[in-house]
Amino acid sequence: MLADLDGVVYKGPFAIPFAVESINRASRSVRVGYVTNNASRTPASVAQQLRDLGLTVTDDEVVTSPQAAVRLLSGLVPAGSLVLAVGGEGLRAELARAGFAVTDSADDDPAAVIQGYAPEVGWKHLAEAAFALQGEGAERPWVATNQDWTLPTARGMAPGNGTLVSAVHTAIGRLPIIAGKPEVAIFEEAVARFGATKPLFLGDRLDTDILGANRAGIDSVLVLTGVDGPKQVLAADPSSRPTFVLDHLGELHESYPEVAVETDAVGDTIYTVGTAAVRLSLSREGAARVGVEREGDAQIDLLRAGCAAVWGSGRPIYALDVDAALYS
Residue 113 three-state SS? strand
Residue 303 contacts residue 259 (beta carbons within 8 Å): no
Which residue pairs from 155-161 have beta carbons closer than 8 angstroms and sit at least 24 positions apart in sequence?
A: 155/12, 157/227, 160/117, 161/37, 161/39, 161/115, 161/116, 161/117
Task: Using the CB atoms, write b or e for 65-80: b if 16+ within 10 Å.
Answer: bbbbbbbbbeeebeee
Residue 1 contacts residue 33 (beta carbons within 8 Å): yes
Maximum pairwise Cα distance, the chain? 74
Which residue type occupies 242? P
Helix, strand, coil tally for the chain in percent (to 5): 35, 25, 40
- Residue 61: which of 74, 44, 75 has the closest Cα? 44
Query: Between β-strands 112-115 and 244-246, what pairing exists: parallel, antiparallel or unpaired?
Result: unpaired
Q: Of 6, 148, 207, 301, which one is the catalytic site residue? A: 6
Task: Using the CB atoms, write b or e for 124-137: b if 16+ within 10 Å.
Answer: ebbebbbbbbbeeb
- Residue 263: which of 272, 255, 254 has the closest Cα? 272
Q: Is residue 301 flagged as an active site residue? A: no
Q: Is residue 52 flagged as an active site residue? A: no
| Residues acting as catalytic residues | 4, 6
